[in-house]
Structure 1
Amino acid sequence: MNKVIKNLMIYMLIVLVIIALIQYASPTNTDVRELRYDELLASVEQGRVQEIVFQADGNTNYITGTLTRDNRQFSSMGPWPDEQLLQMVKEQRLPFRQIEPERPSWLLGVLTSFLPVLLLVFLFFFLMQQSQGGGSRVMQFGKSKARLQTDDKPKVTFDDVAGADEEKEELNEIVEFLKNPKKFSKIGAKIPKGVLLYGPPGTGKTLLAKAVAGEAGTPFFTISGSDFVEMFVGVGASRVRDLFDQAKKNSPCIVFIDEIDAVGRQRGAGVGGGHDEREQTLNQLLVEMDGFTPNESIIIIAATNRPDILDPALLRPGRFDRQIVVAAPDVAGREAILKVHTRGKPLEEDVDLEILARRTPGFTGADLANLVNEAALLAARFNKNKISQKELEDSIERVIAGPEKKSKVISEKEKRLVSYHEAGHALVGYLLPNTDTVHKVSIIPRGRAGGYTLLLPKEDRYYMTRSMLIDQITMLLGGRVAEDIALKEISTGAQNDLERATEMARKMIMEYGMSEKLGPLTLGRKQEAVFLGRDIARDRNYSEEIAFAIDQEVRNIIDSCYETAKKLLEKYNDALHAIAETLMEKETIEAEEFAALMEEQGLEANKGA
C-alpha cells in the first residue's frame, strides 16, 4: 500500500510540474491591437468602438476596449480624463466603465516566478531517492547487490534434495567445517575456499547451495554474476570489494555466486578481447578469493553450466579447490526426486514412480518438477481429487512432445499415412535386438509431430555400442520404409527421422571412429558458440579426399540400415498392416496391447542384454 501511495505522489508531482510549466511558459495574449491616442479618437468618432474600459495604476493610464468590426481587442495610452474623448463617448452612447487595479503582493510574484524551478528540483531529488533506495545512496553505484539470507524465510535442507547423494556428501564437509572447525584444524586440514558446482541446466545446483545455507545456519549471501557488471567503469570491481567486506564482517559465512560464467569468462579471448570492464571485475574477484589478504571462514560457492569457458586462474587450487559435477540423475535418483515433488500431493493407488523414473531418461530435477506440476494441472482440469498414473504419463509426453491436438482435423489419407509410418517405427523397433521396448504408439498429433512412438529403456545407458547405433538408425528409417512398402509413396513426414539418422551416422564416422575404412580417427573439431573464447567456426582438419570418404561411409551406413528395415517389413508385412489398422481404429496402442498384438502375429521380441 505504501508503494502505491508513493507512486501516486510521484504522478501527481509530475502532473503539477507540467501544469506549472505550461502556465509559466504560456505567452500572453498577442491578439490585441495597439492604437495611438489619435487613432483611438478617430475610431470612436467613426463608431468603430463597442466599449471603453479605463485602467489606472498610478503611473500609466490604459484605455482598452473592443472594436465593432471583428470583435478584436485594442489598447491605447492617453490622458485621463479627456474632455474630447468623454464627449465622444456620450454622443456615441458607448458603454463605459472604470477599473481600479489591485496591487499584487510581492510574495505572490516570487512564488509565480520560482515555483516551477522549485518543483523541478524537488522532483529530481525525490526520484533519485526512490530509484536508489534512499537519499544517502544516490551515487553509491559501487555497493554490492548481494542479498543476505534471513531466518524468517523457509529453509531448504538436504532432505529437500534428492538424487544427488555424492554431491550432498561433498558439500556436507563444508557444513561440518562451519559448525565445528576444530575438527579439521586438529588434523591440519584446511577447508576448500571455493566450491564450483557445474552441470546441465536444471540439475539442482542452486538448490544444493540453498541446502548448504539451510544446513549450516550461518550468514548466506547470494548474488548473480551479472549483478557485478554495470555500464559504469569500475563498478564491478567496487562491488566485488564491497561484497567481501560485508562477508568479512559476518564471517564465518557463505557467498553464493550464481551463473558465475557471466563474470568469470576466460580473459583476453573472444571477439574484441582486451582489458574490459568484465576483466577488471574478474581480476578483483581473483584477488579477493586468494590474494595477499586472506579470507578466513568465507566459503565461496559458485554455479555454472559452462565450466569450459571459465578462466583457468579461477579454477586453480586455492580459489575453487573443489569442483563438483551435478549431472542428470539416474533411475534411482529420478525416483527419489519424484518422491520429493509428489510429497504432500494426493496420489491414486495406481501411481508407480518406478515406471515414471524408467520412462524419463535424461530428465533433470527441474524437468521432473515440471512433470509433476503438469500432472496436477491435468488432474485439476478434469475435476479430479487425486493424481493418477495416467496424468503423470500424459505429462511426460506433454514435456517431451507438447500437448495433444485432438481437435486437429486430418483427412483419412493422411491418417492412413501416419498410421503406417508409426507402425513401421514400432515394428522395426520391436524386431531389432538392440533397441528399447515399445511402450506406446500413437497417431494423435503432439507439438509439431503428426504421431509418435515411445520406447521405454530398461536402464540408463552411458555408453552406446556400434550395434545399438545401427539399430537406432534402422528404426528411424522404418517409418519411411513402411510408407514406401504399404502405400507405394513417400512423404515429408520422415524429415526429422532422416535428419537424426544422418547426424547419428556422421557422428559414428567423424567422432566415434566406427568406420572400417577410415579407422579409429576423430575428424574435425567440434564447433563452439561464438564469443565464448573458443573456436568461432568448425576447423576442418582433413583433406577433400577424406571428406569424400566420410560422405561415402555415411551413405553406406544409411543404405545398409534402409535395406535391413525394408527386409524386416517385407517379411512381416501382415504385422505391419495389423498395427496400422489398429492405430487407425484406436489412435493409440499401449505397451500391453502392442505386446498382445505381436503375440497374435506370432512374433516375439529378441532383445539383447
Structure 2
Amino acid sequence: MKKWINYLPTLFVVLIVLSLFFYSSQGSTRTMNYTQFKEMAEDARFGDTNVSISTSIIHVDGVLQDGDSNIQYSVIIPNSEANLEWLEDTLTENGGEITVQDPNQSSIWITLLGNILPLVIIGVFFYIMFAKMGGGSSNKAFEFAKSKARVETNVKTRFRDVAGCEEEKEEVKEIIDYLRSPKKFTDMGAHIPKGILMVGPPGTGKTLLAKAVAGEANVPFFSISGSDFVEMFVGTGASRVRDMFKNAQKSAPCIVFIDEIDAVGRQRGAGMGGGNDEREQTLNQLLVEMDGMTDNIGIVVIAATNRPDVLDPALLRSGRFDRRVTVNLPDVKGRKEILEVHARNKKLASDVSLENLARRTPGFSGADLANVLNEGAILAVRNKETQITMTDLDEAIDRVMMGPAKKSKKYTEKDKMLVSYHEAGHAVIGLKLEDADMVQKVTIIPRGEAGGYNLMTPREEKYFHRKSEFIARITGLLGGRTAEEIVFGEVSAGAVNDIEQLTKIAKNMVRVYGMSSLGPIQYADPQGNVFLGRDYTQGSSYSDGVADEIDKEVRAIVDACHQQCRQILTENRDLLDLIAKNLFEHETLTNEEINNLMNYGSLEDPHAPKPEPQPEKTQPDVPPIPSKNAGVEQKDLDDALSELTKKKDV
C-alpha cells in the first residue's frame, strides 16, 4: 500500500495533463447558436454529422466546409418537425451522412467523470499533503506505549567471538543447554534461573556475552536499554514492560537483554536525586512481570550494569535475578585472546607480538584492546603502509591512554629540561625500587594535558596488593616532583596528576585497607561511586578526632615515601642526569634503551652481537678500454723521444 501511495503524486499530475489536453481538444470546436448556424448553412457544405435528439432540443455535431477551411461545429436546435426536415435536407444535400445517437447513452460515464473524478483527485491531493506535513504521525500515538526492544532472530555471535572470560562462559552454559532442551531440566525438577545479572566495568563484554548465549542457543534476542522504558508520561514505561514480555512469550524460548538496568532499577524512595514516580512504576511492573513468569517458560532475562550498588534490593532477591555473573577486566592471558579475536581481519607485520602487546596493556578492557588494534590500523593507512607494524601499535597504545601526541607544541629549552628531569625521576625510581612498576617507555612529547608521559606496568599482575607495593607506587609517583626539587631547587605544577593519584592511594591505605597505626578499621565506604539519593545525607562514620588522626597518617605515609624517593634519586644522581640528557636529546626512550643507560651508560648494548656487514655490491669486471698507447710502457716512450732528438741534431 505504501508503494502505491508514493506513486499518487505522479498519477495526480498525469490526470491534470490529460484533463488539460481534453479541454484543449474541445476548444477547437466552434459552438454556434441556431441563427448563426442557419446563416452559415446557406453557403456551407456539410460532411458527416452526429445528431442527438432529446425531448426539446436537437444536439448537432459535425464538420462543415466554409470556403477552403473545415470547421468543426456544435449547435443546439429546438426540437420540431420543421427543424428536423430542414436539418435532414441541409445536412444530406452534399452527400453527407447523419448518425443519430441516444442522448442517454453516455450520461452515466459523463456524470462519473465530470462530477466524481474531480472530487477523488482533490481528496487524494489533500491526503498526500497532510501525510507530507506530518498528519500521518498521529498513527504513532497508538505505538507510544509499545516496547522499543530490538529483536534479532538469527544471532551470528558465538562463544569463539568472546575471549578473556572463560569462567563467565561456564556460568551461562547451562542456560544454553536449557534453551536447547528444557525437558531434561524439568524431568529433574530443576528450575532454570529467571534472571542473570552481569556486573563489571564498562567495555568488558557483558553485552557481547549475552548475545553469544543467544547465538549458541539459536534463540531470538530481545535487546533494550533501561532508559528506553522511562518517558515523560507516567505509566508509559510500565506499559512498555508489559508489551515486551508479551512479545517475548510469543517468541519463547528467547533471551531478553536489558542493558544499563540501573537507569530503571535504582533503589525506590531514595529521596534526593533518586525519586522518580515514572521510573519507580516501571520498576514495579518489571518486578511483577518477572514474578508472573512461570518456571521453565522459556524466557531468560539477562541484565547488565556497572553500578550494582544502586540497584533496588527487590530486584536482586532470589526468584528474580537469581544469579550474578561478574565480568572483570581480563588478565594477560585474556588480553592476548581478545587481541587474537580482534586481529582476525587485520594485516599484522611479522614483528608484531600479541603476547608482548598484552603484557604492555594491564587494566585495558576488551573495548580498549579493540580500539588499540583499530587505531594501529588507522595509523598504518595514514603512513601508507601495507601492514600494521609494532611501531603503529605502540603509538596506538599511547593514543588510547593519553591522546594523540602534540608534536607541534614547542618547549622552551628550560621547560624541556625540566620535563626531562621530571620523567627521568619516575624512570629512576622504577629501575631502583624493588616493588615499583617497570618502566616501559618514557617520552617528553606532550600528550593530552600532560607535558610528558611515563608508561609503567606492574612486574606481575596480582589480585591482592601488599602494603610495600602501595608504598613503592606512591614513591614512584613522587619521583618527578622530587627530581625537580633536587635539580632545580623548586617544583612545578606538572605533578598535579601524580599528587592526585598518590593522595588517593594513601587515603585508601588508611581509611579502607587498614594499613596504618589506626588498625584494621574501615573509615570509609569502599565503593568509589556516590549515589546522590542515598549518600548525600549520610553523615560521617567517624568523629572529628579520628578524622584528624587519618590526616596525620596520610601525611606520614606521603612524607616517608618522599624521603625515600629523595634518597634514591640522590644516590643515583648520575643515572638521573644521564637519562634526562638522553631524553632531552632523543625525546623518547624505550625500556631496552633505559636499561642500557643504567647498565652500560649508552643507548646501545656494546656486548650485543652486531649485525654482519653486508658485502658491497661490486660491478662486474669490465676490461679497460685500450688507449692509443696501450701496450707501450713509459720507458719505451722515453727511448723513442731520445732517438727523435738525436736525429734532429744530426
Aligned-pair distance for 1:186?
Answer: 2.8
Equivalent position of 1:582 in the other structure:
582
Higher relative contact order (CA 8 A, sep 6+): 1
Structure 1 contact 525–540 (Cα < 8 Å) conserved: no
Aligned-pair distance for 1:129?
Answer: 6.4
Q: Find out whether 1:557 has 2:557 as its counterpart.
A: yes
Aligned-pair distance for 1:489?
Answer: 2.6
Aligned-pair distance for 1:217?
Answer: 1.1
Aligned-pair distance for 1:301?
Answer: 1.2
Aligned-pair distance for 1:424?
Answer: 0.9
One-letter code aligned to 1:540: S
SS at match of 2:441: strand
Query: Separation in 2 of the partners of 1:476 and 1:575?
Result: 18
**1:147 aligned to which of 147, 150, 169:** 150
Equivalent position of 1:330 in the other structure:
331
Equivalent position of 2:536 in the other structure:
536
Equivalent position of 1:228 in the other structure:
229
SS at match of 2:289: helix
Equivalent position of 1:194 in the other structure:
195
Deviation string 1:541-597 (CA, Å, 9 cap, x unpaired) is: 222222222222222222211111111111111111111111111111111111111
Change in Cα spacing, 1:601 to 1:568, as seen in structure 2 (3 Å) is: farther
Change in Cα spacing, 1:255 to 1:527, as seen in structure 2 (3 Å) is: closer
Query: Separation in 2 of the partners of 1:439 and 1:593?
Result: 10
Aligned-pair distance for 1:130?
Answer: 4.8
SS at match of 1:288: helix
One-letter code aligned to 1:258: D
Equivalent position of 2:321 in the other structure:
320
Aligned-pair distance for 1:348?
Answer: 0.8
Change in Cα spacing, 1:340 to 1:130, as seen in structure 2 (3 Å) is: farther
Aligned-pair distance for 1:340?
Answer: 0.3
SS at match of 1:514: coil
Q: What aligned pairs does 1:171-186 form with structure 2 within 5 A after superposition?
A: 171-186=172-187
- Normalized against structure 2, the TM-score is what? 0.71
Structure 1 contact 265–532 (Cα < 8 Å) conserved: no
Structure 2 contact 403–448 (Cα < 8 Å) conserved: yes
One-letter code aligned to 1:430: L
Aligned-pair distance for 1:527?
Answer: 7.6
Equivalent position of 2:424 in the other structure:
423
Q: What aligned pairs does 1:334-413 form with structure 2 within 5 A after superposition?
A: 334-413=335-414
**Farther-moved stretch of structure 1 (156-165 vs 229-238):** 229-238
Equivalent position of 1:442 in the other structure:
443
Q: What aligned pairs does 1:567-578 form with structure 2 within 5 A after superposition?
A: 567-578=567-578
Equivalent position of 1:520 in the other structure:
520
SS at match of 1:324: strand
Structure 2 contact 252–299 (Cα < 8 Å) conserved: yes
One-letter code aligned to 1:331: V
Query: Separation in 2 of the partners of 1:594 and 1:529?
Result: 39
Query: Separation in 2 of the partners of 1:564 and 1:528?
Result: 29
Aligned-pair distance for 1:292?
Answer: 7.6
Aligned-pair distance for 1:274?
Answer: 5.8
Equivalent position of 1:594 in the other structure:
594
Deviation string 1:338-364 (CA, Å, 9 cap, x unpaired) is: 000001211111111111111111111
Aligned-pair distance for 1:465?
Answer: 1.1
Query: Separation in 2 of the partners of 1:280 and 1:125?
Result: 35
Aligned-pair distance for 1:171?
Answer: 1.5
Equivalent position of 1:262 in the other structure:
263
Equivalent position of 2:475 in the other structure:
474
Aligned-pair distance for 1:127?
Answer: 5.4
SS at match of 1:455: strand
- Structure 1 spans left out of the alignment, 5+ residues: 10-114, 603-609
Aligned-pair distance for 1:187?
Answer: 2.2
Equivalent position of 1:100 in the other structure:
none
Structure 1 contact 128–138 (Cα < 8 Å) conserved: no
Identical counterparts, % of pairs:
58
One-letter code aligned to 1:194: G
Aligned-pair distance for 1:483?
Answer: 1.1
Aligned-pair distance for 1:163?
Answer: 0.5
One-letter code aligned to 1:557: I
- Structure 2 spans left out of the alignment, 5+ residues: 10-120, 603-650
Equivalent position of 1:548 in the other structure:
548
Structure 2 contact 182–296 (Cα < 8 Å) conserved: no
Equivalent position of 1:75 in the other structure:
none
Change in Cα spacing, 1:138 to 1:572, as seen in structure 2 (3 Å) is: closer
Change in Cα spacing, 1:140 to 1:446, as seen in structure 2 (3 Å) is: closer
Deviation string 1:284-316 (CA, Å, 9 cap, x unpaired) is: 111111138667111111111111111111111
SS at match of 1:196: strand
Structure 1 contact 523–541 (Cα < 8 Å) conserved: yes
SS at match of 1:318: coil
Query: Separation in 2 of the partners of 1:235 and 1:289?
Result: 18
Structure 1 contact 254–299 (Cα < 8 Å) conserved: yes
Structure 2 contact 426–480 (Cα < 8 Å) conserved: yes
One-letter code aligned to 1:262: A
Structure number, greater radius of gyration: 2
Structure 2 contact 402–448 (Cα < 8 Å) conserved: yes
Structure 2 contact 511–523 (Cα < 8 Å) conserved: yes
Equivalent position of 1:36 in the other structure:
none
Deviation string 1:17-37 (CA, Å, 9 cap, x unpaired) is: xxxxxxxxxxxxxxxxxxxxx
Aligned-pair distance for 1:117?
Answer: 12
Structure 1 contact 401–447 (Cα < 8 Å) conserved: yes
Equivalent position of 1:42 in the other structure:
none
Q: What aligned pairs does 1:489-528 form with structure 2 within 5 A after superposition?
A: 489-516=490-517, 518-525=518-525
SS at match of 2:171: helix
C-alpha RMSD of matched pairs (Å)? 3.3
Structure 2 contact 266–274 (Cα < 8 Å) conserved: no
Query: Separation in 2 of the partners of 1:469 and 1:527?
Result: 19
**Farther-moved stretch of structure 1 (183-192 vs 299-308):** 183-192
Query: Separation in 2 of the partners of 1:205 and 1:378?
Result: 29
Structure 2 contact 191–295 (Cα < 8 Å) conserved: no
**Farther-moved stretch of structure 1 (463-472 vs 488-497):** 488-497
Query: Separation in 2 of the partners of 1:398 and 1:273?
Result: 37
Structure 2 contact 424–576 (Cα < 8 Å) conserved: yes
SS at match of 1:290: helix
Query: Separation in 2 of the partners of 1:479 and 1:139?
Result: 64
Deviation string 1:96-139 (CA, Å, 9 cap, x unpaired) is: xxxxxxxxxxxxxxxxxxx999988875566556547xx4x542
Change in Cα spacing, 1:167 to 1:333, as seen in structure 2 (3 Å) is: same
Query: Separation in 2 of the partners of 1:597 and 1:275?
Result: 62
Q: Find out whether 1:433 has 2:434 as its counterpart.
A: yes
Deviation string 1:134-187 (CA, Å, 9 cap, x unpaired) is: x4x542322111222133xx6111110001111111212111111112222232
Structure 2 contact 310–531 (Cα < 8 Å) conserved: no
Aligned-pair distance for 1:242?
Answer: 1.3
- Normalized against structure 1, the TM-score is what? 0.76
Change in Cα spacing, 1:172 to 1:128, as seen in structure 2 (3 Å) is: farther
Deviation string 1:207-240 (CA, Å, 9 cap, x unpaired) is: 0111111111122222221222222222111111
Query: Separation in 2 of the partners of 1:271 and 1:120?
Result: 52
Aligned length: 500
